[in-house]
């Protein structure tokens, strides 16, 4: 299990007390060697290169440079200048001359990008194993899936290598790995962070996400990257401040599904018990229309948007694509343009059906993941567990909502679980306030249930 947890605040306190970026960089690379997981990074910058970048940092000023001297990692479908972008497909590789817009902002704020992380190829999956490279090991149980598609980014943070890492999120890729590795996963409102310089999965839904150990760290990175980018057709401004949500919706009995995973069910129950002490009201919500939206993402014509993102590459390199990914994207051929419009009509009707929920509650609190599959279970059924993992994540971007996954009480078997707060578009700051309020008592509960060997 992870035994090191650098945070932005902790690093800045160390710097204020006289620590040097050279020492922090050396510690990060020492941690990489100690963890010894070849599945985390697809490209790791030589330590000397990052030491040289650290030596060029301006004078320490955490107000002017809020990420000064903070090592971070970037999912390998987001461009970092001079580092190959592969989307976990070696035949797709290119080396960009310019970083993604969001990465440029991180570097300008003083962050040190040490490498590019593994993923479900072309960001298609929630399990983290659809890669031609070694699969990153779950930080708590190597026999379990790491979660995806942002598997390497989550494990880099969970193992204490970096303070935060960028993932992406189209259907839950920035939240599921957080829930399965005891992390915060911030999925912003669509367009709040520019996606320029990111390999698209579904351009209308894609978000750059943040993994961190704390809500404050995740929001600090988000705040640096947030902002309108006229060069990104899907960039949109969002509010910077918001009130603390007080009315919290939870799934009613008919909407709460754990597919027989009683340990996940127990952990979620413990999380809601903590939340009852903080919320003004806990209101049961019928999530039927939300769950119907979730089914549209892969069972409806939106799979064609994934095909649109990959069409040129598939035309020449279909055999270089992971077989499960190829099969999923291949389903696009089942849908016509007429189907696409009918899907849009169905989504509009379902969105209208969900709207009354937001007059009753300020935020939803759902399980981040309803199950925690083993690698063996996934080998036996590559599709089923992945689909179930997306039960409470797939609908969020289609409905233009914001979400924040936070750790909750551990499962009875000592494995992590989490709860995800979901709110209307633009509620990013409000969810961060709610998550920060929740994580303090949740951390105490987690510590009490953590196995003695941790």
pLDDT of residue 406 exceeding 70 = yes
pLDDT tens per residue, range 309-336: 999 999 999 999 999 999 999 888 899 9
Active-site annotation holder among 99, 150, 151, 173:
173
Residue 17 half-sphere exposure toward CB, CA atoms < 13 A: 7
Asked whether the beta carbons of 136 and 151 are under 8 A apart, the reply is yes
Let me know if 4 is a catalytic residue.
no
Let me know if 173 is a catalytic residue.
yes
pLDDT band per the 50, 70, 90 thresholds, residue 446: low
Domain ranges of the chain: 1-454
Let me know if 149 is a catalytic residue.
yes
What's the pLDDT at 452? 33
What's the pLDDT at 440? 80
CATH code of the region 1-454: 3.90.1300.10
pLDDT of residue 90 exceeding 90 = yes
pLDDT tens per residue, range 34-60: 999 999 999 999 999 999 999 999 999
Q: Span 260-282, mean pLDDT?
A: 96
pTM for the whole structure: 0.96
Active-site annotation holder among 99, 116, 149, 187:
149
Q: How many CB atoms lie within 10 A of CB 271?
A: 24
- Residue in the block written with tokens 């903080």: 278
pLDDT tens per residue, range 96-106: 999 999 999 99
CA dist 245 → 79, 249, 253, 283, 431 (Å): 35, 10, 23, 13, 7
Question: Residue 1 is encoded by which pair of tokens?
Answer: 């299990």
Q: Which residue, 317, 422, 322, is CA-closest to 367? A: 422
pLDDT of residue 180 exceeding 70 = yes
Pairing assessment for the beta strands 41-44 and 112-117 based on DSSP bridges: antiparallel
Residues facing residue 211 across a β-bridge: 165, 185
């Amino acid at each position: 299990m992870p035994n090191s947890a650098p945070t932005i605040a902790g690093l800045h306190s160390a710097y204020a007390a006289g620590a040097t970026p050279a020492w922090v960089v050396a510690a990060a690379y020492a941690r990489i060697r100690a963890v010894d997981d070849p599945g985390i990074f697809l490209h790791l910058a030589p330590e000397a290169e990052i030491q040289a970048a650290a030596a060029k940092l301006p004078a320490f000023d955490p107000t002017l440079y809020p990420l000064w001297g903070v090592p971070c990692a970037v999912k390998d479908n987001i461009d970092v200048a001079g580092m190959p972008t592969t989307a976990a497909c070696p035949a797709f590789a290119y080396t960009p001359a310019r970083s993604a817009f969001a990465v440029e902002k991180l570097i300008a704020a003083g962050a040190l990008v040490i490498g590019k992380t593994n993923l479900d190829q072309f960001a298609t999956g929630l399990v983290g194993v659809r890669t031609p490279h070694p699969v990153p090991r779950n930080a708590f149980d190597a026999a379990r899936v790491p979660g995806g598609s942002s598997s390497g980014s989550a494990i880099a943070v969970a193992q204490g290598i970096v303070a935060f890492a960028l993932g992406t999120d189209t259907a839950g890729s920035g939240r599921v790995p957080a829930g399965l590795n005891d992390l915060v996963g911030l999925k912003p409102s669509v367009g709040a962070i520019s996606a320029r310089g990111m390999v698209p999965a579904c351009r209308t839904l894609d978000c750059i996400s943040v993994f961190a150990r704390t809500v404050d760290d995740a929001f600090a990175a988000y705040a640096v990257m947030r902002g309108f980018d006229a060069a990104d057709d899907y960039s949109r401004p969002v509010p910077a401040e918001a009130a603390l949500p007080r009315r919290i919706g939870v799934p009613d009995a008919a909407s709460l599904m754990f597919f027989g995973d009683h340990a996940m069910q127990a952990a979620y129950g413990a999380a809601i018990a903590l939340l009852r002490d903080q919320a003004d009201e806990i209101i049961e919500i019928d999530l039927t229309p939300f769950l119907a939206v979730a089914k549209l993402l892969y069972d409806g014509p939106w799979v064609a948007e994934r095909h649109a993102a990959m069409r040129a590459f598939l035309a020449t390199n279909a055999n270089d694509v992971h077989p499960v990914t190829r099969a999923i994207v291949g389903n696009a051929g089942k849908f016509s343009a007429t189907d696409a419009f009918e899907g849009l009509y169905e989504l509009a009707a379902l969105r209208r059906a969900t709207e009354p929920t937001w007059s009753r509650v300020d935020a939803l609190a759902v399980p981040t993941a309803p199950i925690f599959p083993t690698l063996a279970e996934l080998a036996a059924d590559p599709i089923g567990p992945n689909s179930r993992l997306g039960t409470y994540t797939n609908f969020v971007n289609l409905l233009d909502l914001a979400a924040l996954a936070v750790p909750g009480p551990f499962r009875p078997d000592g494995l992590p679980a989490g709860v995800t707060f979901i709110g209307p578009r633009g509620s990013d700051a409000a969810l961060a306030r709610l998550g920060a309020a929740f994580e303090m008592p949740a951390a105490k509960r987690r510590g009490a249930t953590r196995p003695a060997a941790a």
